[in-house]
Amino acid sequence: MSELKSTGKPFEISKREVWEAWEKVKENKGGPGVDGVSIEDFEKDLRNNLYKIWSASSRTGGAAMWCD
């Protein structure tokens, strides 16, 4: 996974932490969330979906970029 390049956030949630959380959910065969999206559907656009989770959970007005 790429590292976070720049932020203006008071706290950091790394992409690695989001990735590791995803791996645990998948390993535990987690069920759909409140949005009803299954693991299989989530995986169809995994990169974008993980980015959305990371962005929403760490958004405080600062800018962040994925660096590949």
Summarised one tens digit per residue, pLDDT across range 8-59 is 555 678 899 999 999 999 999 887 778 888 999 999 999 999 999 888 887 6
**CA 33 to each of CA 15, 25, 30, 58: distance values in angstroms, whole numbers, following the listed order:** 20, 11, 9, 19
Residue with tokens 């995803």: 22
Please report the pLDDT score of residue 12 as a whole number: 75
Q: What is the pTM of this model?
A: 0.64
